Amino acid sequence: MRILLLGEYSNLHATLAEGLRQLGHYVLVVSDGTNIYDYKRDITLYRKSNSPWATFQFLCKLLYVLPKLRGFDIVQLINPDFVALKAERQFPIYNYLRKHNKHMVLGAYGNDWQWVKRGLHDRIFRYGDFNVGDKLRNNAYTLRVIKEWENSAKGELSRYIANDCDAIISCLFEYQASYQDDFPKKTHFVPLPIVPKENINIRLRKPNQPVRFFLGIKRELMEYKGADLCYQALQIAKEKYKDKCEVTIVEDLPFDEYVKTMTQQDAILDQPYAYTPAMNGLEAMSRGLICIGGGEPENYDILGEHELRPIINVHPSVESIYHELEKLILHPDEIPILQQQSIDYTKKHHDYIAVARQYEAIYQSIVKNSATSSLQ
């Protein structure tokens, strides 16, 4: 098949493309590389700023690239907001892609109108981007997300694509839960793709060796994703257990540099408002780090995992995070066990070839159903 993957989040499309190519498909990745993170892509669509000149340059590049985005069996969008333009301008681009390609797939991988609807209004999660229990979150980024998708052209675009596309593929329990009730026939869950790492050996711990904690910060998302809670808990742990733990905090590093720093650590703190680990946490786990973040029962249930429990689950509070940090500091003998489980878990559920096969099966089903319908 000829497959176009348009847009990028956290290396998802770039990694999926590698898997699909291993299965013999032609895959084109078009994205901005998520700016500073510089993820791999085949064609770069990058908008430098919102200035008139940068906008003109971007539109020229887009008009040059669009004819190359024709004749694909599958076009998969990373999000309803799939290029760096106002939603009003994305309607004709989506319709162009729909007209000149065979099938459209929407990725349920991040913020969109359905996510806001189910999380904010229907309150289907115990905690998350919009609430903690009965209390609504009011940080600046959460309010911005709500404003962007509610009663807006972007929300209209999100609903339009969800209704029009041939399939919706989610990558986490939360996104599956957001879509499955409203679009039961065309919503599919597929785990995130991770390239297994070779020769990852769990190092024997030396007596009195400090536990090394790692936190990566995206400044704009710090409060929204809960990095502020992780930061505070780490500072408390560092102050109380000066000789028993080390803390490394980085901000907005390119992906390769980020990974190089991360691999020297024992555990990563990531997204305490989530039920599930996302690409960042899974990449760390595949390298033998323990993920301290989202590991709710729903995460294991959707994967059908009944034995491995490598994720140290926390709730979104400084107290909960600190409690788990302290347990690990005081019981370092647990670290090698959880690290090995982390490697086993990502190989079992997130191997990029196995994940690509699941995407392939969905794509083939779309093509087959379309052929059957055309004959009737």
Residues 207-223 have pLDDT tens digits of 889 999 999 998 889 99
- The domain that contains 296 carries what CATH number? 3.40.50.2000
The burial class, CB within 10 Å (0-12 / 13-18 / 19+), for 150 is: middle
Three-state SS for 200? coil
Range of the domain at 221: 211-350
Q: Note whether residue 121 is domain-resident.
A: yes
If asked whether residues 32 and 168 sit together in one domain, one would say yes
The burial class, CB within 10 Å (0-12 / 13-18 / 19+), for 56 is: exposed
Residues 286-296 have pLDDT tens digits of: 999 999 999 99
Q: Note whether residue 204 is domain-resident.
A: no
In DSSP notation, 294-316 reads ---HHHHHHHT-SS---SEE--S
What the block records as the tokens of 126 is 């115990």
Sheet containing 245-251: give its strands across: 245-251, 211-217, 267-270, 290-293, 312-313
Residues 95-148 have pLDDT tens digits of: 999 999 999 999 999 999 999 999 999 999 999 999 999 999 999 999 999 999
Q: Note whether residue 258 is domain-resident.
A: yes
In contact, 268 and 291? CB cutoff 8 Å = yes
* 198 pLDDT tier (thresholds 50, 70, 90): confident
Q: Note whether residue 199 is domain-resident.
A: no
If asked whether residues 334 and 359 sit together in one domain, one would say no
If asked whether residues 71 and 157 sit together in one domain, one would say yes
If asked whether residues 298 and 357 sit together in one domain, one would say no
Q: Note whether residue 206 is domain-resident.
A: no
Per-residue pLDDT, averaged over 242-270, amounts to 92
In DSSP notation, 37-67 reads G----SEE-----SSHHHHHHHHHHHHHHGG
Q: Note whether residue 200 is domain-resident.
A: no
**Residue 133 pLDDT:** 95
373 pLDDT more than 70: no
If asked whether residues 50 and 123 sit together in one domain, one would say yes
Does the CA dihedral 57-110-186-306 come out positive or negative? positive
376 pLDDT more than 60: no
Beta strand pairing status for 211-217 and 245-251? Answer: parallel
**Residue 256 pLDDT:** 85
CA distances from 135 to 13, 126, 298, 315 (A): 35, 10, 22, 14
Contacts of 210 (CB under 8 A, 6+ apart): 243, 244, 245, 246
pLDDT mean across residues, the chain: 95
Secondary structure string (H, E, C) spanning 155-177: HHHHHHHHHHCCEEEECCHHHHH
If asked whether residues 135 and 244 sit together in one domain, one would say no
Looking at residue 113, its amino acid is W
CA dist 212 and 266 (Å) reads 5
If asked whether residues 175 and 271 sit together in one domain, one would say no
Q: Note whether residue 203 is domain-resident.
A: no
If asked whether residues 106 and 158 sit together in one domain, one would say yes
**Residue 201 pLDDT:** 80
**Residue 85 pLDDT:** 95
If asked whether residues 32 and 127 sit together in one domain, one would say yes
Q: Give the pTM.
A: 0.94
If asked whether residues 189 and 273 sit together in one domain, one would say no
Per-residue pLDDT, averaged over 225-235, amounts to 97
Per-residue pLDDT, averaged over 258-262, amounts to 91
If asked whether residues 112 and 218 sit together in one domain, one would say no
**Residue 374 pLDDT:** 58
Q: Note whether residue 202 is domain-resident.
A: no
If asked whether residues 134 and 215 sit together in one domain, one would say no
Question: How many domains does the chain divide into?
Answer: 2
**Residue 219 pLDDT:** 87
Residues 319-358 have pLDDT tens digits of: 999 999 999 999 999 999 999 999 999 999 999 999 999 9
CA dist 134 and 117 (Å) reads 16
**Residue 203 pLDDT:** 77
